[in-house]
Amino acid sequence: MTYAGPRALLEVDLGSETAVRRDLDDAVFADALGGVGLAVWLLETMIDGPLDPLGPANPLVFAAGPFASTPVPAANKHAVATISPLTGLLNEGLSSSHWSAVLRRCGLAAIVVRGSARRWTTLVIEQGGVRFEDAEPLLGASAREATKRLRESLGDRTARVCAIGPAGEHGVAFATLDNDGRQAGRGGSGAVMGAKRLKAIVVRGRGDVRIADPERTAAVSAILRARAVGPATAKYRVTGTGANLRVLARMGQLPTRNFRAATFAGAEAVTPERARESRGEYLELRAGCAGCPVQCEHMYVRKGKPSETAAASEYESVWALGPNCGVADLDAVLAAIRSCDALGLDTISTGAAIAFAMECAEHGLVDASAFGPPLHFGNAAVLVPAIEAIGAMRGLGAVLARGVRAAAATIGGAAPAFAMHAKGLELPGYEPRALPTYALGLATCTRGACHNRAATYDRDLRHPDEGRGAVDRARDALEAEDVAAVWDALVLCKFIRDCFDDFYREAAELWSAVTGIELDAPALRATAQRHWERKRAINARLGWTPADDTLPPRLFEPIADGPLAGRRIDRDQLARMQSIYEELRAGSAVSP
Amino acid sequence: MTVELFGPARALAGRAAIELPVSEPVELPAFLRALATAVPAFVGEIVSADLDAFVAPNLLLLDGRRGADGIAFSSADRPCVLFLPSGG
């Protein structure tokens, strides 16, 4: 059993401008797989107590997916792990496309960046070595602009760049990392990179990526690829995730105006499908990650406007800056998304911060004219000025730029009651009061309020009227977390989740064929518990306690409107589910 | 029977809702056959080729929040063909 793929770890110290390359053992890959599994495995060896997320001691880890740069579809992905400035706990995110693939073509499985540079730096990684270049001329540039300039200066249009935008430079706690137009979006990894004065990481490599059994890999990949262009992914290919908006609105569970309502009269006006159906009003552009047959990204721009100003219309972005802010103006929402992308801001946290500020302004806790146009729910004109102030950390924007939990503590008064977060990470666009298993997943998630680490809303949505007990819900939440952990270690895009007939069996087959380390379905399934234990151990060292696994106070109050009015999370029931969940995680017998 | 459509079903039908000529109340098997007849493009995409199930992640929810397995339903139940929201 010898791991076939690139196995080198590059350890970079920005303070001393040194880089050391060493190989990781087979046992590491057999245990951690790759992606998030590997990034967290590496991070666990480096975290021994609380640390300042924006200090030089916070490691920033990049780990390639083990299927990147292979024929496996929807798998050119990598993980980023660090300690989040929003939560003070582990943050592990995913990004994708060419950068992920080229990282492996440089012979690397992972990069660990430590320390802090004396000057703004671009790290250039090539097959032959590493260079530390002056990044001062790139300051203030968006990731897209920085990429363009770096390619020009290198004379290499194929160089792949992971960069931060101005928000990361300024230390906004929810700044993103951007590569190839994709982002590791949540949790503020961009702020960590900015605090290290690291503007960009360029990868340039053309090395071969060895596959243990090319024929077997090709056969399994071909099956998966065929399914990935079938009905299982139609919603991503045909409409994009923006179509979620109409569905959740119809179900009466579209979080609106900072989760004060679950129905939104302006939902139809702001759905991206409206742009798609406009027959000429908007131009629709399609994009996707390298090697992915799904091409899920649907971007829109008013006809006649330059195509480079098109904005992506993912559900979470549209929801956060639309319904969650009470805004029913699609053009304004698309402009706000574009502004977030240019500055390098997570759209979910940005929308949550603005909605939080709107509610604070309503209660006279902040200056309603802080951004110019009045700060109130429904005012589309305030979105871009607020986003620009957050990105520049200016005035009230500087308060919001630390995330809603920290902003609420600074503003005081009733503000903490308006801060919609779990462990400091702002809530995504699903209504936990309508989705009890998802609510449990949000509370227990090691990352905070992440909808992709415990996508337990799936069962809740499929069987909305099913009366499941606490034990079943706890099992569902654990199972959903474990499946996600394996997906994120392999790393496969979750948008092909319906393309597997028997996920663990088929994924184990792929892993074995690509890497040469044979794993069967039970062995693959077992990696999830180990990965979860590692994440929990890191958080415990950082000061996490079980009391942190809770939800914002508003969710214990009833939904105010719509067909689900009156639904709320019962504190005792949540505590009961959490207790069972912990018993299951500990391998204990569960009391009925 | 009026059926509301969402996502890929709406895109394939080119409409927000369709009328199905079925005797009410109707059970799921007859509903699926009527749906496939009304919009043949649904076969293999929204409704399985055997016309006996929805193709995941598409599903039927009554009034957007109640399952329809094993029960008869009518227009008053406001059937919706939608999909499981996820990701993004």
Phi/psi zone of residue B51: left (φ > 0), alpha (ψ -120 to 50 degrees), beta? left
Question: Among A478, A488, A486, which Cα is nearest to A503's?
Answer: A486
Helix or strand holding residue A99 (H, E): helix A98-105
Query: Which residues contact residue B65 at a Cβ distance below 8 angstroms, ignoring those fewer than 6 apart?
Result: A251, A252, A464, A465, A563, A564
What is the structure's pLDDT at B66? 87
Question: Among A10, A344, A421, which Cα is nearest to A165's?
Answer: A344
User: Tokens at residue B57, please?
Assistant: 């992640």
User: Tokens at residue A414, please?
Assistant: 């009733």
Chain A closest-CA separation from residue B55 CA (Å): 7
Phi, psi dihedral angles at A349 (to 5 degrees): -65, -35
For residue A588, what pLDDT band results from cuts at 50, 70 and 90?
confident
For residue A163, what pLDDT band results from cuts at 50, 70 and 90?
very high
Least confident of A301-315, A346-360, A484-498, B34-48: A301-315
For residue A278, what pLDDT band results from cuts at 50, 70 and 90?
confident
User: Tokens at residue A20, please?
Assistant: 């050391």
Question: Among A109, A125, A96, A106, which Cα is nearest to A66's?
Answer: A109
What is the structure's pLDDT at A591? 62
Cα angle for residues A469, A255, A458 (degrees, 5° grid): 40
Interface list for A 248-287 with B (CB within 8 A)? 248, 250-252, 273, 276
* Cβ-Cβ contacts under 8 Å, A462 against chain B: 59, 84
Q: Do B45 and A231 touch (CB under 8 A)?
A: yes
β-partners of residue A284 are: A300
The residue-averaged pLDDT of B15-31 equals 96
A9 and A21 Cβ atoms separated by less than 8 Å: yes
A175 and A165 Cβ atoms separated by less than 8 Å: yes
User: Tokens at residue A245, please?
Assistant: 């908006």
Work out how many CB contacts closer than 8 A connect A with B: 94
Q: Do A247 and B83 touch (CB under 8 A)?
A: yes
Interface test with B, best of A244, A263, A459 (most B CBs within 10 A): A244
Burial-class residue A287 by CB neighbours within 10 Å (0-12, 13-18, 19+). Answer: middle
ipTM: 0.96
Question: Among A20, A59, A192, A200, which Cα is nearest to A124's?
Answer: A200
What is the structure's pLDDT at A462? 77
Q: Do A244 and B86 touch (CB under 8 A)?
A: yes
Phi, psi dihedral angles at A62 (to 5 degrees): -115, 130
User: Residue A241: closest CA among chain B residues belongs to which residue?
Assistant: B88
What is the structure's pLDDT at A307? 81
Q: Chain B: which residues have CB within 8 Å of chain A? A: 4, 6-8, 10-12, 44-46, 55-59, 61, 63-67, 80, 82-88
A315 and A429 Cβ atoms separated by less than 8 Å: yes
Using CB atoms, which residue from A234, A241, A563 is nearest to B8?
A234
For residue A500, what pLDDT band results from cuts at 50, 70 and 90?
very high
What is the structure's pLDDT at B88? 54
Q: Do A461 and B84 touch (CB under 8 A)?
A: yes
The residue-averaged pLDDT of A505-511 equals 97
What is the rounded CA–CA span in Å between residue A505 and residue A525? 9
pLDDT at position A463 over 80:
no
Q: Do B88 and A234 touch (CB under 8 A)?
A: no
**Neighbour order of strands in the sheet with B17-19:** B17-19, B2-5, B79-83, B58-62
- Mean pLDDT (chain A) is 95
For residue range A108-140, list pLDDT tens digits in order. 999 999 999 999 999 999 987 999 999 999 999
User: Residue B78: closest CA among chain A residues belongs to which residue?
Assistant: A250
For residue range A249-273, list pLDDT tens digits in order. 999 999 999 999 999 999 999 999 9
Using CB atoms, which residue from B45, B61, B64 is nearest to A234?
B45
For residue A464, what pLDDT band results from cuts at 50, 70 and 90?
confident
What is the rounded CA–CA span in Å between residue A219 and residue A227? 13
pLDDT at position A26 over 90:
yes
A254 and A323 Cβ atoms separated by less than 8 Å: yes
pLDDT at position B21 over 70:
yes
Question: Among A192, A198, A191, A119, which Cα is nearest to A162's?
Answer: A198
Helices (DSSP H) in chain B: which residue ranges? 7-13, 28-38
pLDDT at position A490 over 70:
yes
Chain B closest-CA separation from residue A13 CA (Å): 34
A259 DSSP 8-state letter? T
Least confident of A216-220, A232-236, A430-434, B20-24: A232-236
A298 and A284 Cβ atoms separated by less than 8 Å: yes
Contact A501/B at CB under 8 A: no
Burial-class residue A134 by CB neighbours within 10 Å (0-12, 13-18, 19+). Answer: exposed
Q: Do A251 and B64 touch (CB under 8 A)?
A: yes
Q: Do A316 and B88 touch (CB under 8 A)?
A: yes
Output the pTM of the full model: 0.97
